[in-house]
Structure 1
């Protein structure tokens, strides 16, 4: 008879454990901001090609283009056009533009006349699946290097999308990739201008 009284509690506990196990937990990445940097002095930036760790070969360029457009739309910083950035990379002779050295960054200052350079790593871009549920996921890390010394003055990461509890229960396909990409970029821009 006693088990009948405790049975609802056991069911509730099991449900909560399953719910917590099914939720995607991300510890987040610590952000970095150089407190001695005067970000108000940054008037122009060059966004270098992003390192693409995803399985989609074109994803890095798509996300970089979206980031450049949204950064330019803030009207807080002038963003050099991609052609100018490529010209600067070529003139400086940067072998791996996704991961420039401090010396290469300082040389870009003379060639492109920018105050900072932004580099990025696209860690995830695509569909994730769990059972019958699937959803889009984007994970992006950015860093800003000031061109005077080539040192990192800001870094942040964001991951958006993924399979939610609603996706698991209803089998929906999650948010469109464009929406998830915009969410990630908005999150990073909020971090940058915070």
Structure 2
């Protein structure tokens, strides 16, 4: 066994840990004038987790954080729900291009946000547990129905310090806010 093997293992472990906490791919339509977006409808998020309320919680945090930027008006969830019903959107978590255009007309929204909660809550690695949140989102322009931005973020997970110190990680609410903040920084980049 050479001395390079332990170093290689350490480097691979560090890269793996960094990958678990980093963001993913980001897409920005270079032809889109993001300054023209003034009103946004945040659709119900898809939930791929075992936590029944995860999508609603993440949607609420996302909507609040987007509204807090001050540059965009986020339609209230009740108004979005009424618009979904009036526009006849069959599957609000993944509307078709035609439904996005119609919804934009009904709600007078410039864009629609759709999202997916991939992970939410506790994960275990051996005897160590910690919280993780993984979200992806897309911004669809309502005049054309096309995707003009997409991003993803994963925060939390079992870290080396969790394993060594048994800290249990951060609360899921704080991790959700961190993941949403990273998504918004990708959007406004």
The structural deviation recorded for 1:114 is: 0.4
Is 1:14 paired with 2:9? no
170, 176, 179: which one aligns with 1:184: 179
Aligned 1:165-176 pairs, distance under 5 A: 165-176=160-171
Q: Tell me how far apart the structure 2 counterparts of residues 102 and 13 of structure 1 sit (CA, whole Å).
A: 52
Q: TM-score, normalization: structure 1?
A: 0.90
Point out 4+ residue stretches in structure 1 off by more than 6 angstroms: none
Question: Which entry has the higher C-alpha Rg, 1 or 2?
Answer: 1
Q: Tell me how far apart the structure 2 counterparts of residues 141 and 60 of structure 1 sit (CA, whole Å).
A: 11
20, 36, 39: which one aligns with 1:41: 36
84, 90, 108: which one aligns with 1:113: 108
Give the CA RMSD over aligned residues. Answer: 2.0
144, 152, 160: which one aligns with 2:147: 152
Q: Tell me how far apart the structure 2 counterparts of residues 20 and 166 of structure 1 sit (CA, whole Å).
A: 17
86, 94, 100: which one aligns with 1:99: 94
In structure 2, the partner of 1:3 is none
Mark the runs of 5 or more structure 2 residues left unpaired by the alignment: none
Is 1:124 paired with 2:119? yes
Question: What CA deviation, in whole Å up to 9, does each residue of 1:139-173 have, x standing for no partner?
Answer: 00000000001000000000000011100111220
Q: Tell me how far apart the structure 1 counterparts of residues 24 and 181 of structure 2 sit (CA, whole Å).
A: 16
In structure 2, the partner of 1:193 is 188
Q: TM-score, normalization: structure 2?
A: 0.92
